[in-house]
Amino acid sequence: MTTAPPTPPDTDAAAFVAGLRRLKAWSGLSYRRLERRAAEAGHCLPYSTAASMLGRERLPREELVAAFVAACGIRGAEAEAWLDARTDIACGPVPVPTPVPTPVPTPVLADAAPAAAPAVAAPLNTAPARTRPPWRTRLTLVGAAALVTALLGGATASGVFTDDEEVHETRTSVRL
On whether residue 129 sits in a domain, the answer given is no
Q: What are phi and psi of 20, to 5 degrees?
A: -65, -35
Looking at residue 158, what is its pLDDT? Answer: 75
Does residue 66 form part of some domain? yes
DSSP 8-state code for residue 73: T
Is residue 83 a part of any domain in this protein?
A: yes
Residues of the chain with pLDDT under 50: 1
**pLDDT computed for residue 155 by the predictor:** 76
Q: Please check whether residue 2 lies inside any domain of the structure.
A: no
- Give alpha helix (H) positions in 28-133: 31-40, 47-55, 62-71, 76-91
pLDDT at 104: 72
Q: Which domain, by its residues, includes 74?
A: 13-91
List CB contacts of 65: < 8 A, sequence separation 6 or more. 20, 82, 83, 86
pTM above 0.75, yes or no: no
Check if the beta carbon of residue 54 is closer than 8 Å to that of residue 21: yes
In a domain, 137, yes or no: no
Number of domains comprising the chain = 1
